[in-house]
Structure 1
Amino acid sequence: MAHKQMTPDEVRKRLENNENLSIIDVREDDEVAEGIIPGAAHIPLGELHLRLNEINQGEEHIMVCRSGGRSGKATDFLLSKGFKVKNMPGGMLEWDGKVER
């Protein structure tokens, strides 16, 4: 399934312009401990189906993981549930913006 995407560069530029983006990081706890995009929510992929109530259906979300694979699965899953989501291909491997630890 082809889904909408937003490159790491586009995400970084929009954050630097103080745009209010909803970013959801679906990596595991130990990966997130190494750094997460500031302001991103953390919902591991395996918990996503249990935590849909934490995701605002009226807002667009950008899904992030290490390389774009798991976030692609998360994007497909959330699209199937009626959410507005985009995948960030390249994931944190290609992220060169700020991170929080």
Structure 2
Amino acid sequence: MGFLSSLFGNKQYTDINGNELQKMIKENKALLILDVRTVDEFRSGHIPNAKNIPVQELNSKVNTLEVYKDKEIVVYCASGGRSASAANILAKNGFNKIYNLGGISNYKGKLK
């Protein structure tokens, strides 16, 4: 049962869509937008002001995000799988305002 509940229940982050992200960007200047794709994917186009930490490096670099522990963090990747993993890593490390945009295609604005 524990395995299934970890897959389907007790999610410690909130899924959002592109419209919700746009509203968050307008209302919260301290918002961290975290791109968990590879460096090359990030360079090919990303959400403006996003910080890039590839998901495979997040565990070792999570301490660099300490200042955001009680602030809103939006994570995204290419399709949603890595961002969900990243959201879980953040939650396990005590971050409590985590939002998962899923894939970058959910973003409605211009990429940088």
TM-score scaled by length of structure 1: 0.85
Distance 1:65 1:46 in 2: 12
1:12 aligned residue: 22
Q: CA RMSD in A?
A: 1.5
Deviation at 1:18, TM superposition (A): 5.4
Partner of 1:83: 95
CA distance in 2, matches of 1:59, 1:18: 13
Q: Where in structure 1 are there 5+ consecutive unaligned residues?
A: none
TM-score (structure 2 length as normaliser): 0.78
1:4-61 CA-to-partner distances (Å, cap 9, x unmatched) read 122122112332x253221110000111111111111110001101111211212121
Larger radius of gyration: 2
> In the alignment, does 2:106 pair up with 1:97?
no
Distance 1:49 1:92 in 2: 22
State the distance in 1 between where 2:82 and 2:111 align: 20
Superposition misfits of 4+ residues, deviation over 6 angstroms: none
2:77 aligned with 1:65: yes
Q: Distance in 1 between matches of 2:35 and 2:93?
A: 18
Distance in 2 separating the partners of 1:62 and 1:95 = 11
Q: Quick one: distance in 1 between partners of 2:94 and 2:27?
A: 27
